[in-house]
Amino acid sequence: MQYPIVAYSKNPKRDYYAYMGFHVLLRKGLLLLVIVAALALWGVIDLVRNEFFGLFYLVLAAVIMLLLLLRYFIISRKSYRDYIAAAGEMKMVVLTFEQSGFTCEIRYANKKSVATIHYEQIARVYDTRSHFYLHISATQVFSVSKRQIEGGRAKELSRLLRRKVTSQREV
């Protein structure tokens, strides 16, 4: 494996919203999504049988889904605004992965912040179709878009993270 592996986030806001969608809708909302699917299926079956409650179940499923989506938009917008108020508007994030850890360089409008994180500090990694989510703590997550990895080396980064971080999940 050739080092370093470099990932750029030229639109940190988009990556943040992608993570919030994953976190709020999939991780935290999975049970609600299963309930919505069950209600919708139940509604369709009842409609096929010409029962009145079929429409009720479909409407209930739609309302729960809308509430889940509304929750996503409210939580993600509020938390992003809170983050920007505390840290400032990020212009670009550059993650450079080496053998022992990775360096995160955050470029703001008028300053730059650099931190080095060792792989032992990563609590959990989620590997989705489009992103890697590196959880440092319950409130600190690095989002790495697979499309923004230099040279299309997402598979190499996946192998590196599998070797170095023991708590991984593919989603």
Boundary-marking domain end, from 34, 62, 85: 85
Report field, pTM of the whole predicted structure over 0.85: no
- 121-124 contacts, C-beta under 8 A, 24 or more apart: 122/164, 122/165, 122/167, 123/167, 124/165, 124/167, 124/168, 124/169
Strand ranges across the sheet with 90-97: 5-9, 90-97, 101-108, 112-118
**Rounded to an integer, what distance in angstroms lies between the CA atom of residue 92 and that of residue 77?**
19
Length of the chain: 171
| Judgement on whether residues 29 and 80 belong to the same structural domain of the protein | yes
What does the pLDDT look like over 56-96, one tens digit per residue?
Answer: 999 999 998 888 878 777 777 777 777 666 666 778 889 99
Please give the residue range of the domain that contains residue 140. 5-11+89-170
